[in-house]
Structure 1
Amino acid sequence: MRGFRAKDADRDRFVELIEAAYVDGQLGAEDRDLRVSRALTAETLDELQTLTRDLQLPEGHVPPAAPGRTPVRALSRPSSGARGVLVGLVVFVVLVAVGVTGVVALAMFAVSGGPDATTSTVVDPAPAVPGQDPAIGQPGPPSFELTPAGVRGLLRDYEAEFGTLDAFETGLYPEHAWAFVPVRGARPRYERWSFDGAWSRQSDASAVRDGSPVIDLGALDVRRLFANIDTAQKTLDVPRGELTHVLVNSWMEARPSVNIYVANRFDESGYLRTTLAGDVVRAYPYGG
């Protein structure tokens, strides 16, 4: 692995692992900051592996895959198509060994799939449906997830799609996001776009309300955002509270703010307001 160069996607995966280990209590804040800084500037995959070699994998976290290695899922049971190819090969070898005697019987056995088969009809697999796992026909994983890597990828896609990182407002949810994207013109206008792995326009241009300023999403500190999400879940007096969404806007103050909302199944909720750089402005706990 020493000779492989690291890509941005590799750095994002290892940063996510470091952040997960910090939330899991394996790292202190200073150690986490140092490792994240080094991961973001790592040039090779060996450097990234060295930074995380001593970390336990938090529950539910998938380890970053090394290049040239086959994922564990690829070693699972062969598909029905693969089993059919194997049966055909076995039949061919047996035919060569025994000659033409019994050709008809062996061919019938191969087509029927054996004495336990109920039909000899070969059925093509159903065509893949977008957003579904073709193996089980159920909806696949979301194409956007509210993780450090997911947010960094969203910001890259935003800049590629719109040629800027400016927005009037942005909402981040566990499996999707949206943004009020500025529209060029003499007066301030915006269009609402949604993101679930790709951007799609949800509304025509509208007037900007209350003279809200444009926000530079490039100033959002993703690392500190997720550290503050962890803080919000622990300090807002919402037992077993889960992150519901994050709003980046400038409604309450002249300067942009990041508002992190937490709630539980009893509809108890609170939120934490920070700057784009991650400095805490004020906490709004449940009942406060």
Structure 2
Amino acid sequence: MPERAPARKRARDIDRAQTCALLDAGYGEGQLDPAEYQNRTAQAMTAKTLGELASLVADLQIPEHLAEAARESTPAPRTRLSGRAVAAIAVAVAAVCATAVYTNRGDDTPPQTVVAAEQAPIAGGEPEPIVVEAFDPVSPEGVRNFLRRYQQQFGDLQVDDVIFYRTYVFLTRALPDQPHREQDWSFRGGFSTSGAPDARTLDTVTVDLATVDVDRLAEVLATGPGRVGLPSAKVEHIFVRPDSSDDALVSVLFQDQDERTGMIDTRMDGTVVDVSRAEGR
């Protein structure tokens, strides 16, 4: 298949989200300045084709070990995409998932891992193990567990934005007493920093996760596949972020085994504001 043909394929919501994740990584490593980052992210969120998404990350440096990790963990696509499109999609996942593999902007300090679970005493000279509790972040129970642990870790429920994936949670929040700096974190049973702190505008709008109505969210998670026209679909991710209105937006992305997607947007109280059904459904 000619390389230019896949570039014309229509982009899915998950393609846009994963490209944004790669832009996040590039910004965190200093490859993009704030203006470039904001401009490209805005373009990624409205991109129509895979070619448009690929062009937004084509000039970014992608560490080979992250690309290799993505190739090993990501199933081969049903349709062959161009090399750049594959890199944009696959490595975006690795950039977010492999937060313990690398550090940003030349910081040689290993990511900090905070473990809340009780551990047995460690014999002298032995490394302390990382305890990861099994949980499903995109289930109501997983969301409740995360909120409880988040409150314990940070003392509040404020966040710039947060994405619940199937096996982990990725978030950004301001540093304590430093509203002009932000830190990316991942949660896999314990909290780990992702890269070095970065600049943050003082007018950044935050989200109060205490206002999430998990019971109403549970209804959306349960009924969503049918509402988007994909009865066998599963939750791919839950994205909570500020919105142009006074309230935040919760976007739930559903995907079935044929990689068809649909999305439901709600307010924090569970009020549905938009349903994006799968194409042709």
- TM (norm. structure 2) is 0.48
* Structure label with greater radius of gyration: 1
- TM (norm. structure 1) is 0.47
